[in-house]
Amino acid sequence: MNSKEQTKKKITVRDVMTIAAMMVLTIVVSGVTGPLTLPFPFLYLYVCAGLQMFLCATFYLVVANRLNKHGIFLVWGVVYGVILGLSGYMFLLPYFVAVAAICELAMLGKNTYINPLRNTIGWSIWGLGMVIGNAVPIWAAWDSYVEQASASGFSQEVFDMQINMLSSPWHMLLACAITLVLAVLGCLFGNRILRRHFKKAGVVQ
């Protein structure tokens, strides 16, 4: 079966399981980088999302190059949103589904999921969605977010800096720029890993 034929196929249950497995690894990385940067509000709000994009790009690229099917980002967003929902942030589920839909629009075309440039664009959009997601609690459910986040160890300094970041376009642009740079670097590094190891082993196309 050639790659063009595979692209036309729909996402299967097995594909969802593959995506979910990579998402679990992504959540593990988030579970490490989040607590490590949380004591430093600037790093947590401005760098943490980008750091996760850098470290997790390889996980996404493995899925993209292995499956090469439209719908990968949508499933990725749904799984991520559900995990956040189960953690008490259900109001973030529709937001990340919307971000995933935008990523899917960026991936329209044939064999885009095995195209390094298109994957970098899609992953960078997802990264922007991650950092802009800091604004969603303020718009959607600030009180419940503060209650849940406080129980997870968030300090008042983090909340204050979060509001400050979102109230200043320049601060938000800085966070987005840092995330974009790290997302692109993550894809460059991830594609190198794929070429050196996964493609030689026949894991991906």
9 pLDDT more than 80: no
Of 35 and 184, the structure prediction assigns the larger pLDDT to: 184
149 pLDDT more than 50: yes
pLDDT of residue 205: 58
Token pair 């922007």 is at which residue?
128
pLDDT of residue 204: 58
> Whole-prediction pTM value?
0.84
pLDDT of residue 200: 57
136-141 mean pLDDT: 71
140 pLDDT more than 90: no
pLDDT band for position 128 (50/70/90)?
A: very high
60 pLDDT more than 90: yes
Q: Which residues contact 118 (CB under 8 A, 6 or more apart)?
A: 106, 107, 109, 112
Angle between helices 142-151 and 156-167 (to 10 degrees): 140
d(CA 68, CA 79): 18
Long-range contacts of 81-88 (CB under 8 A, 24+ apart): 83/23, 83/27, 88/148
pLDDT band for position 202 (50/70/90)?
A: low
pLDDT of residue 197: 67
- 64-68, 129-133, 138-142: segment of lowest average pLDDT: 138-142
Domain positions in the chain are 14-27+37-198
d(CA 161, CA 182): 21
Mean pLDDT of the chain: 85
pLDDT band for position 150 (50/70/90)?
A: confident
pLDDT band for position 1 (50/70/90)?
A: very low
4 pLDDT more than 60: no
